[in-house]
Structure formats: C-alpha cells, structure tokens
C-alpha cells in the first residue's frame, strides 16, 4: 500500500505514464479546458466594446432604411394613388410632431421666464395660435376613435371629408388651394349681412359728423371702392361704444361676424361674444408683434397666411399686393385701443371685400 501511494505521488508530480482513473481523467480534462478557453470566453461575454454596439445600431438603421425605400418603390409602382396619400399622411405626421415639439419648447420657455403670450415674438405667437387650432381639430378625431373598431370608420371619414376633419398638414397642394377658396366663399356669404347691419345703425349714431362718415363708408362699399385707412379710423368712436361696441353687438350681427372669422356661429350669444373678443384680441396682439418685426422679415408664405387670417383671400393675389394690404391693416390695428377692437373685427370685411385681386 505504501509503495502504491508513492507511485501515485510520483506520477502526479512528474507526469508518470501511468494512466489515471476515469474520475481523475475527467477532472484533469475539465481543468485543462477551463485553462485553455476560460479567459477568452469570459472577455467576450462580459467586456463588450462600445464600437460593436454602435456598428450594430448602424447596421440595423441601414437595413431599415433600405427596406423602407423598397416599400416606397413598391407602393409607387403598384399603387400610385395610394402612395400619394400615404406620402402626404406620413409627411403630415412629421410636421405635426415637429409643431408639437416646438410648441412645447415655447411653453417651457414661457414658464421658466414668466413670459405672457403677448410678450412673445410674432412667429412664436402665431405658431402657438395655429397649433391650438390644429390640436382642437385632431382632438375631435381622437374622440371619434375611442369606441372599439371606430378607427376604421374614422379613416373612412378622413378620406371622404378631408376639409372638415383634417388640418392643412394632411392636404394635397391642390386641396390647399381649393379648400381655402371654399372657406373664403363661406366668409363672403356673411359680408352683405354685415354691411346691411352697418347701414341700419346709422340713425342710432348720435353725432352728425359720424353719421355722415358712416354713410359715406357704406356708399363706397356698395360702389365697390376700397376704403382708405382714414375712412375707417374716422369711425373709431362708433365702434368703442353704442351702437357698434363689442358689448353692444346684436346676436345676428355676432353670428355673421363669426362666419366672417371662420368661427362657429352655432353658440349662445354669451359664448359668441367671448369668442369674438378673444379671437380679435389675439389678432391685435399678433399685429403689434408683427409691427415690431416688420413685414419685410416675413416669407411669402407667412405673408399670405397672415392676410388670409385677417379676411383676405390671398391665394390668388400677388405677394406684393398682399404686403401692401397687410401694411394697411397694421396701420389701422396699431392705432386702435382695446376698447375699439370692434372696429378691427369689422375691418375683416371692410378692408377685404373690395380689394383689387380678390376675385378669381
């Protein structure tokens, strides 16, 4: 026994040729494999370079872009009409998302620096105003999509009634022109009613000089003459109090003015008056910010959008004519006080109805 133990010890120390037992062989094989492969395997599992992660992300992004381009080519070849709608819808979503991020950034800066709406720059004020209107329209679609399987019906309604349910981001270029013409035609329907109301209130004006100015203004409008800023500003006292002040307007007149401002007229008188006051105040604040910025700083699209908001169908009018008209509007708006905003509200009709180039 002692001799065999010595032999086993010598074999362990000097690597004797005596074969070990099966258990010892398996243990030695496990230790050797661990020494041979343990370190590299551990480095691959636990120490991953950042370059590998970046290359993987780049590879996935490249493949995704290739698949996306192939899908676009497939739609363009086999479903051209659907491809046009799909492209407009995707671009509209991107623009709406960009508008949402910009609006959030503006609101965050307002909260951090304690800035009010009227203290913003013109472009920031206009962006928030337009984004609020777009969100209200999208919110209506969101409410319709709440019931189960109603989203399929909403898609059908969006396709059938794009003007009523979709914002301008999702209109085709042709639809933008056609729909703006339709909206302006709806505004034009209210113009005769507004001018007729101005004629009816002439006997209610106490000052004889103001009566004469109002009569002259109505006569010019009926003859198709575009009034000057002096013709309109001469009547500012009539629109600050009775009979044409904001708080003295009749329900029928407020409904006609709401249609002229592209606001819903189907509300109680109290809400109509509040909406007209709010909307006119926002436009007055925009005018003051625009006067500081300068019309020359606006792009052609910004000029046309500003004119359309204030009652002029700028879709078919040259840019220079739009800039001239907008300059006249600003001269009137910046001369008015808060109590005279009813005159600014009526100027939506007075300045646009006979302006050269409004007809198609």
Tens of pLDDT along 101-141?
Answer: 999 999 999 999 999 999 999 999 999 999 999 998 888 88
Cα 276 off chain centre by: 22
Longest dimension (CA), the chain: 141
The reported pLDDT for the residue numbered 342 is 95
Domains of the chain: total: 2
The model scores a pTM over 0.85: no
- Going by C-alpha positions, the residue among 318, 91, 325 that lies closest to residue 227 is 325
* DSSP codes of every residue in 75-91: HHHH-HHHHHHHHHHHH
- Going by C-alpha positions, the residue among 347, 141, 171 that lies closest to residue 261 is 347
Q: Which of 145, 171, 197 is the last residue of a domain?
A: 171
> Which of 153 and 227 is assigned the larger pLDDT?
227
Helix, strand counts (H, E) of the chain: 16, 0
Confidence band, pLDDT 50/70/90 cuts, at residue 36: very low
Contact 210, 238 (CB under 8 A): yes
What percentage of the chain carries pLDDT values higher than 70?
81
Task: Decide if 14 is inside a domain.
Answer: no
pLDDT in tens, 282-318: 999 999 999 999 999 999 999 999 999 999 999 989 9
Return d(Cα 114, Cα 140) in angstroms, integer: 31
Q: Which of 171, 206, 222 is the last residue of a domain?
A: 171
Q: Which of 171, 197, 218 is the last residue of a domain?
A: 171
Please work out, in degrees rounded to the nearest 5, the angle formed at the alpha carbon of residue 338 by the alpha carbons of 295 and 184.
55
Return d(Cα 156, Cα 91) in angstroms, integer: 19
Please state, as a whole number, how many other Cβ atoms lie within 10 Å of the Cβ of residue 288: 15
Angle at which helices 191-200 and 341-350 cross, to 10°: 130
Which segment, 2-16, 57-71, 202-216, is predicted with the most confidence on average? 202-216
* DSSP codes of every residue in 178-217: HHHHHHHHHHHTTHHHHHHHHHHTGGG---HHHHHHHHHH
DSSP state of 268: -
Return d(Cα 172, Cα 114) in angstroms, integer: 39
Q: Are residues 69 and 198 in the same domain?
A: no
Q: Are residues 211 and 141 in the same domain?
A: no
Contact 246, 345 (CB under 8 A): yes
Structural domain boundaries, residue 344: 187-350
Task: Decide if 251 is inside a domain.
Answer: yes
- For residue 235, the number of C-alpha atoms closer than 13 Å in the C-beta half-sphere is 30
Q: Are residues 197 and 138 in the same domain?
A: no
Return d(Cα 321, Cα 311) in angstroms, integer: 14
Does the pLDDT at position 34 exceed 70? no
Q: Are residues 157 and 100 in the same domain?
A: yes
98-108 burial, b for 16+ CB within 10 Å, e for fewer? ebeeebeebee
Q: Is 114 left (phi over 0), alpha (psi -120 to 50) or beta?
A: left
Does the pLDDT at position 55 exceed 90? no
Q: Are residues 254 and 331 in the same domain?
A: yes
């Amino acid at each position: 026994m002692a001799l065999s133990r010595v032999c086993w010890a010598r074999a362990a120390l000097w690597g004797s040729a005596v074969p070990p037992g099966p258990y010892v062989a398996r243990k030695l094989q496990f230790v050797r494999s661990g020494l041979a492969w343990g370190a590299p395997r551990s480095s691959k599992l636990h120490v991953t370079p950042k370059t590998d992660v970046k290359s993987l992300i780049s590879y996935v992004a490249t493949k995704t872009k290739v698949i996306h381009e192939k899908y676009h080519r497939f739609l363009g070849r086999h479903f051209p009409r659907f491809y046009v709608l799909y492209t407009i819808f995707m671009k509209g979503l991107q623009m709406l998302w960009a508008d949402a991020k910009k609006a959030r950034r503006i609101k965050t800066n307002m909260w951090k620096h304690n800035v009010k709406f009227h203290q913003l720059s013109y472009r920031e004020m206009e962006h928030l105003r337009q984004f609020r209107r777009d969100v209200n329209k999208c919110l209506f679609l969101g409410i319709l999509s709440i019931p189960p399987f109603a989203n399929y019906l909403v898609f059908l309604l969006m396709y059938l009634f794009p003007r009523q349910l979709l914002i301008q981001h999702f209109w085709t270029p042709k639809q933008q022109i056609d729909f703006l013409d339709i909206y302006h035609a709806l505004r034009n329907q209210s113009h005769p009613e507004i001018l007729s109301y101005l004629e009816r209130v002439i006997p209610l004006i106490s000052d004889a000089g103001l009566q004469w100015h109002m009569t002259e203004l109505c006569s010019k409008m009926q003859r198709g003459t575009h009034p000057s800023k002096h013709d309109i500003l001469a009547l500012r006292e009539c629109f600050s109090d009775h009979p044409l002040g904001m708080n003295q307007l009749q329900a029928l007149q407020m409904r006609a003015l709401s249609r002229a401002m592209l606001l819903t007229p189907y509300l109680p008188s109290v809400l109509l008056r509040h909406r007209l006051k709010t909307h006119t105040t926002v436009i007055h604040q925009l005018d003051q910010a625009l006067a500081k910025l300068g019309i020359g700083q606006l792009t052609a699209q910004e000029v046309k959008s500003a004119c359309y908001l204030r009652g002029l169908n700028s879709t078919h009018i040259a840019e220079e004519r739009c800039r001239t008209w907008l300059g006249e509007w600003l001269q009137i708006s910046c001369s008015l006080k808060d109590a005279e905003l009813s005159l600014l509200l009526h100027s939506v009709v007075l300045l646009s109805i006979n302006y050269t180039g409004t007809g198609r």
